[in-house]
């Protein structure tokens, strides 16, 4: 999704802006641009190009110590030079970069056009630049007043940064629904829509809240709302620039898959209580008595986070014996859901900025629901909006297809489920059983990753099929859904997930030599049922890839068998998911696709 960067200080701004944009590339974009304040004018350079090309084509005279930059993901108007940001006001006085969507843009465009303003792009953002320039009604109007006056006329969402030729010492930024993060440097200030662009320069950041604005100058910042100044506390980001490097791996996705043993160790660190066979989750901000009041758990997330939520709901229901289910946040927010006071709502998100999930949380809070977050990005919008939560500590995830964050979501749900269970009816012995299994996960994941060559060979085979089924039963179904999703996302192969139990109720009609099925077959109490389904598929000459445990007698001879180490049944889904990541990765490689930045997808969807 779109990215914003800004700089004000003593150094040349352009290289810092371009570097920031390069660090936001992973979010997905189709055009890029920068604007700096020269001695008497705003210098603008933008096009529908990659950041690398933008940098290479920067004009020689592009000096300026204050500037803003943007990577755009087209919403209003095709990717093109004139639609790229920054957008300039007609008089060249004001430049704006903007994330989000202005809902009343067409009405404002019509008004501006009727007033003789020549509109030079198809974007909603352009109106902001014109309106801010025109809001300077007298010589004493400040940029802050002009921005506030403009925002009064705007309906929609925005994260924006504004340059004004008449106020070369500052950038004014504003947030409503789209993240804006200030980075506090040494006699310089940075701003970005994502900490990835800031960590090279500073670890001290300030997150704006919705309705807040800020003025950034070289010597500091001031935050305010329409009515008053506000006081913010800076937080320290512990992610490093090196976390954003590919570390010798061909792709970020590969690096992030390989990091999983370590990232699982991190999410477990300090949280397992071996003495009392339970879990410590200080961030929940709720004591045992409060947690016992909940009679239901409802999990909300989007994409892979939703599938992790489905697996999490099963874990919680099975272990803690609390009815639990998951729903896409993108649906929940639109259906005026009934909010129950004895339901614990859980929002799950890697980025903490997914707009659908954020709006679902806000709706829940408006209606008095208790909501906690399972979030990776510390200090992100969803994390701040929730009443408490469990940070996932996966470290930054750059590849669009989620791997290590998803795995840590599954661990996060296991921690939550065990915690809820131990304050109810889960015995110390059962607690110990699950804690021992959690502790074994990192080493078990290492063993799965060591099987990469074999998985790459299977993937090569699967990549030939235009269409595939992924099937799993109960605990295995979210695994199948996530496996199909991953393959779809990066290899562009059609992959559909079904409950194994549903095969005979319809999908079996498609099974035949042309359609391979990836079947999730854990060695658990449903093994016999799953083996029956393998027979049905084989009888129709359907090629099979079976993801199972060591030592299972499948009773058929599949094209490929992938065996993973056995965990406790409740935690098996986590390990069964890992080989599917490598299958998708190698299938995409075989087909020659851009693994880290698949077409049409963004890492974090921060707009409607």
Would you tell me which residues interact with ligand G6P (CB under 6 A)? 302-305, 349-351, 354, 357, 400, 402, 601-602, 604-605
Smaller CB distance to ligand G6P: residue 160 or 300? 300
Residue number of the CB atom closest to ligand G6P = 303
CA angle 291, 294, 296 (to 5 degrees): 135
Residue 466 C-beta: closest distance to ligand G6P, Å? 23
Smaller CB distance to ligand G6P: residue 138 or 600? 600
What the block records as the tokens of 477 is 């179904």
Strand 517-521 to 544-549 pairing? parallel
Q: Are 467 and 440 in contact (CB under 8 A)?
A: no
Smaller CB distance to ligand G6P: residue 201 or 355? 355
Strand 388-391 to 494-499 pairing? unpaired
What the block records as the tokens of 549 is 């445990």
Can you spell out the DSSP letters for 388-432? EEEE-------SSS-SHHHHHHHHHHHHHHHHHHHTTT--HHHHH
Residue 143 C-beta: closest distance to ligand G6P, Å? 33
Residue 114 C-beta: closest distance to ligand G6P, Å? 39
Q: For the packed helices 428-449 and 572-590, what is the interaxial angle rounded to 10 degrees? A: 20
Q: Which of 458, 405, 403, 441 is nearest to 257 (CA)?
A: 403
Smaller CB distance to ligand G6P: residue 167 or 251? 251
| CA dist 517 → 550, 561, 600 (Å) | 20, 12, 26
Instruction: State which H helix or E strand residue 545 sits in.
Output: strand 544-549
Q: Are 474 and 313 in contact (CB under 8 A)?
A: no
Q: Catalytic residue at 2?
A: yes
What the block records as the tokens of 480 is 């199948």
Residue 202 C-beta: closest distance to ligand G6P, Å? 23
Q: How far apart are CA 453 and CA 586, in angstroms?
A: 10
Residue in 404, 488, 597, 603 annotated catalytic: 603
Smaller CB distance to ligand G6P: residue 208 or 302? 302
Dihedral of alpha carbons 288, 292, 294, 297, sign: positive
Residue 33 C-beta: closest distance to ligand G6P, Å? 24
Residue 584 C-beta: closest distance to ligand G6P, Å? 12
Q: Which of 404, 409, 369, 380 is nearest to 392 (CA)?
A: 409
Q: Are 88 and 130 in contact (CB under 8 A)?
A: no
Smaller CB distance to ligand G6P: residue 146 or 302? 302
CA angle 22, 219, 167 (to 5 degrees): 80
Residue 148 C-beta: closest distance to ligand G6P, Å? 31
Q: Catalytic residue at 386?
A: no
Smaller CB distance to ligand G6P: residue 258 or 400? 400
Residue 527 C-beta: closest distance to ligand G6P, Å? 30
Residue in 2, 65, 488, 597 annotated catalytic: 2
What the block records as the tokens of 486 is 């991953």
Residue 385 C-beta: closest distance to ligand G6P, Å? 13
Smaller CB distance to ligand G6P: residue 23 or 136? 23
3-state secondary structure 345-391: EEEEECCCCCHHHHHHHHHHHHCCCEEEEEECCCCCHHHHHCCEEEE
What the block records as the tokens of 529 is 């049922």
- How many angstroms from the chain centroid is the CA of residue 322? 28
Q: How far apart are CA 587 and CA 583, in angstroms?
A: 6
Smaller CB distance to ligand G6P: residue 148 or 479? 479
Can you spell out the DSSP letters for 294-324? --EEEEEE-THHHHHHHHHHHHHHHHH---E
Which stretches does DSSP call E strand in 102-166? 158-164
Active site residues: 2, 603
């Amino acid at each position: 999704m779109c990215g914003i960067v800004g700089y004000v200080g003593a150094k040349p701004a352009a290289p810092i802006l371009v570097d920031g944009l390069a660090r936001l590339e992973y979010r997905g974009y189709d055009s890029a641009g920068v604007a700096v304040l020269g001695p008497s004018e705003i210098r603008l350079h933008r096009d529908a190009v990659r950041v690398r090309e933008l940098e290479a084509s920067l004009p020689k005279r592009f000096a300026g110590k204050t500037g803003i930059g943007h990577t755009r993901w087209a919403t209003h108007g095709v990717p093109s030079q004139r639609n790229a940001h920054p957008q300039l006001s007609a008089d060249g006085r004001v430049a704006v970069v903007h994330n989000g969507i202005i809902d009343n843009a067409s009405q404002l465009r019509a008004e501006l056009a009727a007033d003789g303003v020549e509109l030079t792009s198809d974007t909603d953002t352009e109106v902001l630049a014109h309106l801010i320039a025109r809001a300077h009604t007298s010589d004493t109007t400040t940029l802050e007043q002009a921005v506030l006056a403009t925002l009064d006329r705007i309906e929609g969402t925005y994260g924006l940064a504004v340059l004004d030729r008449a106020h070369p010492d500052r950038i004014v930024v504003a947030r409503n629904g789209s993240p804006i993060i200030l980075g506090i440097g040494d006699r310089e200030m940075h701003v970005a829509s994502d900490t990835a662009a800031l960590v090279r320069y500073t670890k001290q950041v300030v997150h704006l809240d919705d309705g807040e604005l800020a003025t950034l100058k070289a010597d500091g910042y001031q935050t305010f709302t329409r009515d008053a100044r506000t006081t913010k506390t800076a937080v320290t980001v512990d992610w490093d620039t090196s976390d954003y490097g590919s570390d010798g791996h061909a792709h970020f996705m590969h690096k992030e898959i390989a990091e999983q043993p370590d990232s699982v160790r991190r999410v477990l660190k300090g949280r397992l209580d071996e003495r009392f066979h339970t879990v410590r989750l200080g961030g929940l901000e709720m004591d045992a008595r409060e947690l016992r009041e909940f009679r239901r758990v409802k999990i909300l997330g989007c994409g892979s986070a939703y599938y992790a939520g489905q697996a999490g709901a099963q874990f919680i229901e099975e272990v803690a014996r609390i009815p639990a289910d998951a729903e896409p946040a993108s649906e929940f927010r639109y259906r005026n859901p009934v909010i129950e006071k004895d339901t614990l709502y859980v929002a799950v998100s890697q980025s903490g900025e997914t707009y659908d999930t954020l709006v679902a949380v806000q709706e829940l809070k408006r209606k008095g629901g208790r909501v906690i977050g399972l979030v990776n990005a510390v200090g992100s919008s969803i994390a701040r909006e929730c009443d408490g939560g469990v940070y996932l500590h996966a470290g930054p995830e750059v590849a669009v297809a989620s791997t290590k964050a998803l795995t840590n979501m599954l661990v996060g749900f296991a921690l939550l489920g065990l915690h809820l269970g131990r304050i109810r009816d889960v015995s110390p012995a059962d607690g110990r059983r699950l804690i021992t299994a959690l502790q074994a996960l990192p080493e078990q994941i290492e063993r799965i990753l060591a099987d990469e060559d074999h998985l790459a060979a299977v993937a090569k085979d699967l990549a030939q099929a235009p269409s595939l089924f992924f099937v799993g039963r109960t605990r295995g179904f979210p695994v199948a859904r996530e496996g199909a999703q991953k393959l779809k996302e990066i290899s562009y192969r059609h992959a559909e997930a079904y409950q194994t139990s549903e095969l005979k109720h319809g999908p079996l009609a498609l099974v035949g030599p042309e359609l391979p099925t990836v079947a999730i077959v854990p060695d658990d109490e449903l093994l016999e049922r799953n083996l029956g389904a393998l027979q049905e598929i084989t009888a129709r000459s359907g090629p099979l890839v079976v993801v199972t445990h060591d030592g299972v007698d499948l009773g058929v001879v599949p094209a490929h068998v992938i065996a993973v180490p056995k965990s406790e049944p409740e935690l098996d889904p986590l390990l069964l998911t890992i080989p599917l990541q490598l299958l998708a990765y190698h299938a995409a490689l075989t087909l020659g696709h851009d693994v880290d930045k698949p077409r049409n997808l963004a890492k974090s969807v921060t707009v409607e």
